[in-house]
C-alpha cells in the first residue's frame, strides 16, 4: 500500500516554524495543521503566538481556535482530528503540513501511537499524594521532569493535583506502550527540523516575549479573567498567562513577570529538544541563521516527487 505523504516542520518555540510554514505552503499548495497544544484555545492569541489573521486568510490553518479555555482536549482527540484533516487535504490534491513544537502531538500522528483512555488510578494517586506529603511537592515535580519533560514545562510545580495527573498519564502510556514504535507508520513523512545556537534562540525568545507584552498580553489576560476563565484552569497555567495572572493579582511586578516568562520559556525549549533530538536521523535539521528556505523547499519538492 502506498502511504500518504505529509510534511512536518518541528523545532523549539520561537524558532520561526509558523512563518516559514506559511511561505512554504504558498509555494507547494499546502495547508497547515497546527501541532501546538496551546493554540487550540480560543481567545488566547497573543500568549500562544498564533499565526496572524492575515497569514491564516492566505493559507488554510487547522486545529486552531477549536475549544474554549475552560474545555479539555486530549491527545487522542488531537490525533483523530489530525488524521481526518490529513485525509481531507489529501482528497483535494493538496499537501498536509504539520507544524508545531508539541512533541506528543507530532509523534502521535507520525508514529501512529495507540492511545489508551487514561482512567483515574486511585491507588497510584494515593501513593503520589503520600510521597508529596512526606518528601515535598518538589520531589514529585522532579519525577515528572524526568518522566515527561514537555508536560512538566506546562505545569506549575506547586500545582500538586496537575503534577499527579501528568504522572498518572505518563505511567499509563509507559505501561500500555502507546507509542508502538514497532508499528508501521501510516504516513510517509518528511520531517524538517529548525534549530540554531542556544544563545540565538534565547535572544529570539526574549524578543518575542517583549513583543507579546507590547501587543497586549496583559490586557488579553485581564479579558480572559473578566470573562470567567479562572487562573486555576490548565489553559491559564501555561507559560505567559500564569505570570500575567500573578502580575494582575499584585503578586509580581510587570518586569518580574516578563523575566519569569523568558526564563520558563528557555526551560521549555530545553525540554522540547528531548522530543526532537538533534541526533534523530528521521529529522533533517536546518540552522535558521543560514539562508535555509531554498534548500528546504527543494527537499520538499524532491520528496513529493518520489514514488
Vertex 97: Cα angle to 44 and 54 (nearest 5): 50
Residue 177 has pLDDT above 60, yes or no: no
User: What domains sit in the chain, N to C, each tagged with a CATH number?
Assistant: 4-115+178-305 (3.40.50.300), 122-176 (1.10.20.140)
Sign of CA dihedral 153, 154, 158, 159: negative
- For the chain, give percent helix, strand, coil, nearest 5: 55, 10, 35
End-to-end CA distance of the chain: 12
Backbone dihedral region of 228: left (phi > 0), alpha (psi from -120 to 50 degrees) or beta?
left
- How much is the pTM? 0.84
CA–CA distance, 162 with 151 (Å, rounded to integer): 10
Residue 241 has pLDDT above 90, yes or no: yes
Which grid coordinates belong to 111? 508514529
List Cβ neighbours of 130 (8 Å cut-off, separation of 6 or more). Answer: none
CA–CA distance, 137 with 121 (Å, rounded to integer): 19
Closest CA to 6 of 108, 106, 93, 86: 86
CA–CA distance, 180 with 162 (Å, rounded to integer): 26
Q: Name the pLDDT band for 156 (thresholds 50, 70, 90).
A: low
pLDDT in tens, 74-130: 888 999 999 999 999 999 999 999 999 999 899 999 998 877 666 667 888 888 888
The percent of residues above 90 in pLDDT, for the chain, comes to 67
pLDDT in tens, 195-223: 999 999 999 999 999 999 999 999 999 99
Most confident by average pLDDT, 69-73, 136-140, 187-191: 187-191
- 6 neighbors 188 (Cβ within 8 angstroms): yes
192: helix, strand or coil = strand
287: helix, strand or coil = strand
CA–CA distance, 22 with 32 (Å, rounded to integer): 8
- 80 neighbors 115 (Cβ within 8 angstroms): no
Across the chain, which distance is largest between two alpha carbons, in Å? 60
CA–CA distance, 125 with 101 (Å, rounded to integer): 29
**What's the average model confidence in pLDDT over 271-296?**
95
- Average of per-residue pLDDT values in the chain: 90
Closest CA to 8 of 276, 271, 208, 270: 276
Amino acid at each position: 500500500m502506498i502511504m500518504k505523504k505529509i510534511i512536518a516542520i518541528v523545532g523549539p518555540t520561537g524558532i520561526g516554524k509558523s512563518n516559514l510554514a506559511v511561505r512554504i505552503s504558498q509555494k507547494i499548495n499546502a495547508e497547515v495543521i497546527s501541532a501546538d497544544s496551546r493554540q487550540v484555545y480560543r481567545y488566547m492569541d497573543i500568549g500562544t503566538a498564533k499565526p496572524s489573521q492575515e497569514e491564516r486568510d492566505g493559507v488554510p490553518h487547522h486545529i486552531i481556535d477549536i475549544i474554549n479555555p475552560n474545555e479539555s482536549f486530549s491527545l487522542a482527540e488531537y490525533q483523530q482530528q489530525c488524521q481526518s484533516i490529513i485525509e481531507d487535504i489529501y482528497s483535494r490534491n493538496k499537501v498536509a503540513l504539520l507544524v508545531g513544537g508539541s512533541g506528543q502531538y507530532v509523534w502521535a500522528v507520525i508514529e501512529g501511537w495507540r492511545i489508551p483512555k487514561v482512567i483515574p488510578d486511585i491507588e497510584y494517586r494515593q501513593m503520589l499524594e503520600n510521597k508529596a506529603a512526606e518528601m515535598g511537592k518538589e520531589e514529585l515535580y522532579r519525577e515528572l521532569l524526568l518522566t515527561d519533560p514537555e508536560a512538566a514545562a506546562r505545569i506549575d510545580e506547586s500545582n500538586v493535583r496537575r503534577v499527579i495527573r501528568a504522572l498518572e498519564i505518563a505511567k499509563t502510556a509507559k505501561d500500555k506502550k502507546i507509542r508502538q514504535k514497532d508499528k508501521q507508520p501510516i504516513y510517509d513523512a518528511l520531517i524538517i527540523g529548525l534549530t540554531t545556537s542556544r544563545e540565538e534562540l534565547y535572544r529570539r525568545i526574549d524578543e518575542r516575549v517583549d513583543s507579546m507584552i507590547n501587543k497586549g498580553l496583559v490586557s488579553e489576560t485581564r479579558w480572559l479573567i473578566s470573562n470567567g476563565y479562572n487562573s486555576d484552569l490548565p489553559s491559564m497555567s501555561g507559560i505567559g498567562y500564569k505570570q500575567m495572572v500573578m502580575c494582575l493579582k499584585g503578586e509580581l511586578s510587570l518586569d518580574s513577570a516578563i523575566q519569569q516568562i523568558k526564563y520558563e520559556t528557555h526551560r521549555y525549549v530545553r525540554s522540547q529538544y528531548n522530543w526532537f533530538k538533534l541526533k534523530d536521523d528521521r529529522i533533517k535539521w536546518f540552522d535558521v541563521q543560514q539562508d535555509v528556505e531554498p534548500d528546504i523547499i527543494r527537499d520538499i519538492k524532491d520528496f513529493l516527487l518520489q514514488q
